[in-house]
Structure 1
Amino acid sequence: MEKNSTTEEMKTLTSCVNKLVVDGFTENFNASEEGLVSATDQKTYGPTDVNITNFYRFEGASDPSDNSILYAIETNDGRKGTLVDAYGPYADANVDKFMKEVEAVTKKPVHNDAAKD
C-alpha cells in the first residue's frame, strides 16, 4: 500500500501545526472561562463565533501526558488559528467546556482513503 505524503507529514503535533500555519492558521488561541481567546489581542469568542474546521489527535506511545489534540479554528471575523490541548486526565477544563458548546465542527479526512467508501 502506497503511503500518502500528507498522511506522513501529519504524524506529529509539530508537523501538523506547521502545515496549518502554511495553510493560513496563524493565530494562537487559548480557552478561558469566558471563551476562546486570541493570544494576539485578547479578543474573546463565544462558541457560536467559531467553526472547528478540523482536529487531530496525537497519542504518546508510553506516556499518557503525551496525548494531545490540535484544533484548526476559523472565527466569524475571519481569523484562522489553532488551539492545542491535552486529552484524557490532563485536559484543560476550559477547553473541554468550550468545545462541547461549539456546534460548527467539521472533520476533514486527512488522506484519500475516505474517498474509497
Structure 2
Amino acid sequence: MGWGGLPPKYAQYTALIKGQGAGEKNQTLTFPKPDLDYEKGGFFSITTYNSESWIGEENFYISMDRMKDNGDGTMTVDFNSDTPYSVTVSEGWNGTLRLYLPVDAEKTIEEINHFVNIPITKK
C-alpha cells in the first residue's frame, strides 16, 4: 500500500510484523534486503509503536543504515537486545516496515507479502 497519498511506486508499508507484541528480551528478525532504487535515495526502516499504537519508547525506530547487513542479501533487526541494531519494544507492541522507491512496485508487494510471514524469533 502507498502512504500519505504516495502511490505504491514511491512508497509501500507493511501492516504488521509477524510475531510483534512480545516484550521479551533478545528477539530477532532477519529478512531479505528489499529491492529499492538505492542510487536515487531509496531506503527502508522499521518503526515500532506501543500497545496503544503510539510511539512508546525512545529507541522506537531503526533505519536500514543501523540494521545489521549480514553480507548474504539479508538484514537483521533485534528487539530488546544489547546490539547496536536493536530497538526497544514493550508488551503489545506493533511495527511497520517502510519501503521507499521500489525498483518494481509489483515485486515489492511480493516482498512485503513474504516479509509479513517471517517470524520474529528468540536469540
Higher relative contact order (CA 8 A, sep 6+): 2
TM over 0.5, shorter chain: no
TM-score, normalization by structure 2:
0.26
TM-score, normalization by structure 1:
0.26
Structure in which a larger fraction of residues adopt helix: 1
Determine which structure has more spread, i.e. the larger CA radius of gyration: 1
